Chain A
Amino acid sequence: MLPGPLALIAEITHRCPLHCVYCSNPLQMAALCSELATEEWVGVYQQAAKLGVLHLHLTGGEPLARTDLTQLVDAAHAAGLYTNLITSGIGLSEHRLTALVRAGLDHVQLSFQDSRESSADWIAGTRAHALKVELAPMIRRSGVAFTINMVVHRQNLDRLEEMIALAESLHPDRLEIAHVQYYGWAFKNRDALLPTRKQVNDSLRIVAVAQERLAGRIHIEAVVPDYYARYPKACMGGWGRQQLIIDPAGKALPCHAAGVIPGLQFHTVREHSLEWIWRESDAFQKFRGEQWMPEPCRSCDRRAMDFGGCRCQAFLVAGDAASTDPACSLAPKHVLIEEVVARVNASSGSADHSPQVGEKINSLWSYRPQPGQ
C-alpha cells in the first residue's frame, strides 16, 4: 500500500510584514478572506497525524500574523505532531513565545537576510534585522530547538563568513545556509540573485571550515545550489512521496510552486479528506513514482535518488513539467540553465550597496507585496 506522508508544510497565511525579493510564495497569493479558519486547520492536523505525518512545519507568509497560532500549535501537539515554527520573528514577544512553548512548540527556525542591517533590510524591503537579533536570545532561553536560516544569493554571498559569525554569536543548535530556490518571486528576480561560480566555490570552502570548527556546537547544513550542481535536487523527496503542502486557503500541493503547472487540478481540504487527496487525487498521482518519466531519467541509475528533479522547475525553465529537470547536466534542455549561469557570470557580479529600505536599485528587482495588493 502507498505509504502516507511524513511531513505537512502548512502555509497558514500568505500575509507577511516582510517583502523578501526571493520569497517562495506564489505570485498570486491567497487573501486573508480565503484563509482556513482555526477549526479547519485543527481538523487537517488531526487527519495528518492519522495518515502518519510526524512533522508539522508552520510557515507562510509569516505564521505569527495568525492571531490563533497558539491554538494551532496546541491542537497540532495534541494530535501528536512535532511542531516547527518557520518565522521571520516579526510579531514574536516573550509573552507569545512562552504561550507557544507551553502549547507544545518544539522548534523555531528564525530566518536572516544578511549579517548587516542595511543590506538585510534592503532584501526584506522593511526594517526587521535588528529585531531578529534581539529575539534570538529569547528563543534560545525558551527551551525549544533553535535553527538559524541564512538565505544566500549573489547580493550577500560575499559576506558569508560574517553571516556565519553572526549566527555563531546567537548560539543556535543548527545553521542552515540556504541558497535561494528559483520559484515564485525568486524566479522573477533570478538575474539579480543567482550567485557567480566564484561565489559558490568560495562558499563551499567557507562552509567546510565552519563545519569543522563548530562541530558539536552548531550543526551546519548547506547544499550546492542546483544551478551549479551536476544533478538536480530530490525535490520534496519525490512528488507525492513524503511531504505535502497546504496553502492558506486549504489547497493541497505536492510542491511549493506546483500551482504554476498548467493542467493540474488541486483540491482543497474543504472539499476532500487529506487521505483522498494524498492517495487518489490526480495532482498527487501525476508525477508519483516513475511511470511519467521521460528519457534520460527513465533509464538513469539516479532516478530513485533524485526522482528526475523538480517538476515546477522543469515547467518554469523548460516549459514542460514532464521533462527532466533542466538543472540536471544530462537533461536535453540543460542549455537553458547554462545560458543563465553564463549570463550571470559575465555580468558584474555582486554589488556592495549601502541601500535604503525599499529602494529599488535601477529596478534591480521586484519586492513581494502583501496578498491582495
Chain B
Amino acid sequence: MPLPQDSSQPRLASGCRWTGEGDKRMLLFPEGVLKLKGTGHAILERCDGQRTFRQIVDELQGLYSASEPEKVRNDVGGFLERLQQKRVVDF
C-alpha cells in the first residue's frame, strides 16, 4: 500500500472512536483499544478528515522541530499506513 498523498485527508475509519479525557484518552475500535502517548497521539488527534496529510506533517514538524523534515514525513506516513491496514484510519 502506498503512503498517504500530500492532499489526502486522513480520518478515523468507520466504527473507530475516541473515549475518555486527558490521561485516560483512548481510541476504541472493533477488536481492541489504542492507548497512545506522544507522537502517535498527536498524529491521530489530527486525523479529522479535514486536515491534509501535508498539514499534519507540518504541524508535527512544528512540535518536533529538532527532527529532519524527511524523517517526520516518513514516520507519520508509515504510522498512518500501519493503522490503515488495521482499518483504524482511512485516507
Contacts and interface: CB of A to CB of B under 8 A. Distances in A.
Interface of A: 6, 54-55, 80, 82, 84, 106-107, 109, 143-147, 173-174, 215-216, 218-219, 221
Contacts of A82: 17, 19, 28
A144 B29 CA distance: 10
Pairs of residues from A and B, 9 with the lowest C-beta to C-beta distance, nearest first:
A145-B15, A216-B1, A173-B87, A107-B30, A82-B28, A219-B87, A107-B15, A145-B30, A145-B14
Nearest to A172: B87
Contacts of B86: 219
Contacts of B52: none
Contacts of A145: 13-16, 29-30, 87
A157 to B, nearest CB: 23
A171 to B, nearest CB: 11
A84 B30 contact: yes
A35 to B, nearest CB: 26
Interface residues of B, number: 19
Contact of B14 (A80, A144, A215, A218): A144
A174 B87 contact: yes
Given A54-B19, A173-B15, A173-B30, 6 more contacts: A55-B33, A84-B30, A147-B30, A216-B84, A218-B87, A221-B31
Contact of B1 (A84, A215, A221): A215
A173 B1 contact: no
Most chain-A Cβ atoms within 10 A of its Cβ — which of B13, B30, B32, B87? Answer: B30
Nearest to A176: B31
Interface string B72-91: 00000000010011110000
Interface of B: 1, 13-17, 19, 26, 28-33, 81, 84-87
A147 B14 CA distance: 11
18 contacts: A54-B33, A82-B17, A82-B28, A84-B30, A106-B15, A106-B17, A109-B30, A143-B14, A143-B15, A145-B87, A173-B13, A174-B30, A174-B87, A215-B1, A216-B1, A216-B81, A216-B85, A221-B31
A221 B85 CA distance: 12
A174 B87 CA distance: 7
Contacts of B33: 6, 54-55
B28 A54 contact: yes
B31 to A, nearest CB: 8
A107 B28 CA distance: 11
B15 to A, nearest CB: 2
Nearest to B16: A145
B19 A80 contact: yes
Contacts of B29: 145
A230 B16 CA distance: 34
Contact of B30 (A106, A215, A216, A218): A106
Contacts of A106: 15, 17, 28, 30
